[in-house]
Amino acid sequence: MANRKTTSALDEHLGYWLRMVSNHVSNGFARKLEGHGATVAEWVLLRELFDVEALAPSRLAERMGMTRGAISKLADRLTEKKLVARADDPDDQRAHRLSLTVAGRELVPELAALADENDASFFADLTALERANIEAILRKIVVRRGLKDIPVS
């Protein structure tokens, strides 16, 4: 037993490699979105609204793993851009309902194409088996640990 345990290096953690790849994927996507005047958070919000008639900010906050404050400001920006509309909830004087404008609805498929492209190009180096493997493993972690939203930070 000659060696004391040595302080582990950054890259000895699986989390390190995960963060490296994940941040590059998100970053690449963010750069692609920039060209269309959108951010990742904006894309996610728009996509969430896409297959629903309308949604309350609070629900979006839960689904997106952001605070209500953040959603409030995000919605401000998107209404400013005329991509999202705020309407009063007829059943609850406090509540709002966010929905896509026509322009917003038209933008979603365009951004979805960028997302597809980004994902495809990033994982193009992998074999079909590798892609299936990594997805299965990630899903397993999500299920086992009961992860439900994506914390932004």
- Positions touching a second copy (CB under 8 A) are 7-10, 13-27, 29-30, 44, 47-48, 50-51, 65, 108-109, 112, 115-116, 118-119, 122-123, 125-126, 130-131, 133-135, 137-142, 144-145, 147, 150-153
Task: Choose from DNA, a second copy, none: what does 31 bind? Cβ within 5-8 Å by kind.
Answer: none
Q: Could you give the 3-state DSSP secondary structure of residue 101?
A: coil
Q: Radius of gyration of the chain from Cα atoms? A: 19
For 117, the token pair is 């492209």
Question: Which residues lie across from 87 on neighbouring strands?
Answer: 97
| Residue 113 interacts with DNA (CB under 7 A): yes or no | no
Query: What is the C-alpha to C-alpha distance for residues 37 and 44, in angstroms, rounded to an integer?
Result: 14
Q: Are 112 and 120 in contact (CB under 8 A)?
A: no
Shortest Å, Cβ 35 to DNA: 14
Q: Count Cβ atoms within 10 A of the Cβ of residue 55 and give its class: 0-12 exposed, 13-18 middle, 19 or more buried.
A: middle
In this structure, what token pair is assigned to residue 41?
């958070």
> Is 153 near DNA (CB under 7 A)?
yes
Q: Using CB under 7 A as the criterion, what x/- string covers residues 78-97 for binding DNA?
A: --------x--x--xxxxxx
64-100-79 Cα angle (round to 5): 85
Residue 58 binds to DNA (criterion: CB under 7 A)? yes
Based on the shown chain and the rule CB under 7 A, indicate whether residue 35 belongs to the binding site for DNA: no
Which residues are at the interface with DNA (CB under 7 A)?
A: 39-41, 56-58, 65-77, 86, 89, 92-97, 151-153
